[in-house]
Structure 1
């Protein structure tokens, strides 16, 4: 159990510092609909992360582990492929950032400020199906494939992964709800910082996690 947690926690952190959900959260909290939309968005996002990670764990069980000299070779190859995909995604993100002369909030994000509760919940769920999120959850699901965890241990693993991966969405919403009068200034500061550093942070995180996942895969060959 401890080994499994050790492998998935860095991946949960990588998912937690993904800029898109954080920026959407900030935009919702700064919108006139924040009281009606923030918590539905949070619920949709938490359910989405838990569902995608659980689905990836289930799909990982399909990968064969024959009793041969290298029983985890198929698992290792799958991890290397996912790690390579994350590295490619990092390179693409970096190249796009170099050609983007006007960093800031993507146009589609401006629409979220007008979303009501139902659409906000749907958006939270939808954000969990971005390529980056799926690849990270897939890597996490594969990384625990050979640990022979019990259903109870898997449940704890999903809960811990989900709480950590969604913590950067949970925290702003809870803090803003507890102290709305002080929220505007630091939310604006967070928004400006993310807009300025989004591309660099995303590229570095994807690159580091991709290399880590490739290394995990190589050790299983």
Structure 2
């Protein structure tokens, strides 16, 4: 079980430090409907992650044993290489997107519409960020596949740990706001400003590290 948890930890951290979901949560918490929209957004974000990692683990477990994550089949050997190449490409795109010093970054349209967003729409946006974001989805898939073939209890614990860590950076500000209310506004604004400036560089660094890890693992299996 410890091995399964250790395997998913890097992917969980990757989900946790993804800046866009955190920024979305912070912007929601600065609106009038924060006490309802914030938890709904967190619920959607959680469900979006689970909607990928759980099926990935189930599908991976249904494969022949030699094709699972720790098997000797061609799929188990090719998967880390393919994922590593995709991570490398995403890292390249992320580094290209890092804004130059002093440059202004534009927010996505859905972020600018957050002030008037209903709790239902917050749920949908949270789910979409968890399910449709290519970088996050890739981390979810890799985490799910990495625990495939393990006993059901081990998979359940590993996926729970993965999900709790992954949603933690959205859950913490939401829970803190429910407790402290508008006393959190100054801190939320400061975190939002920092992420808006440095979030892309954080993601680029993460993608680079995950690419190196996956490619190294794939090469070792050859």
Give the TM-score taking structure 1 as reference length: 0.90
CA distance in 1, matches of 2:218, 2:4: 14
| Aligned: 1:137 with 2:135 | no
Deviations along 1:99-150, whole A, 9 cap, x unmatched?
Answer: 79422533331112221111111111111121001111111122223xx421
CA distance in 1, matches of 2:214, 2:48: 22
Q: Is the 8 A contact 2:99 2:105 kept in 1?
A: no
Q: Is the 8 A contact 1:72 1:220 kept in 2?
A: no
CA distance in 2, matches of 1:115, 1:76: 45
Match of 2:4 in 1: 4
1:1-221 alignment runs, 5 A limit: 1-61=1-61, 63-66=63-66, 71-98=72-99, 101-128=103-130, 129-145=132-148, 148-221=149-222
CA distance in 1, matches of 2:99, 2:186: 30
Give the TM-score taking structure 2 as reference length: 0.90
CA distance in 2, matches of 1:58, 1:99: 43
SS at match of 1:105: coil
Q: Is the 8 A contact 1:104 1:195 kept in 2?
A: no
Q: Is the 8 A contact 1:79 1:142 kept in 2?
A: no
SS at match of 1:166: helix
CA distance in 1, matches of 2:154, 2:192: 37
Q: Is the 8 A contact 2:19 2:199 kept in 1?
A: yes
- Runs of 5+ consecutive residues of structure 1 not aligned to the other structure: none
- Runs of 5+ consecutive residues of structure 2 not aligned to the other structure: none
SS at match of 1:149: coil
SS at match of 1:179: helix
Evaluate the alpha carbon distance shift between residue 170 and residue 98 of structure 1 in structure 2; reply closer, same or farther with a 3 A threshold: closer
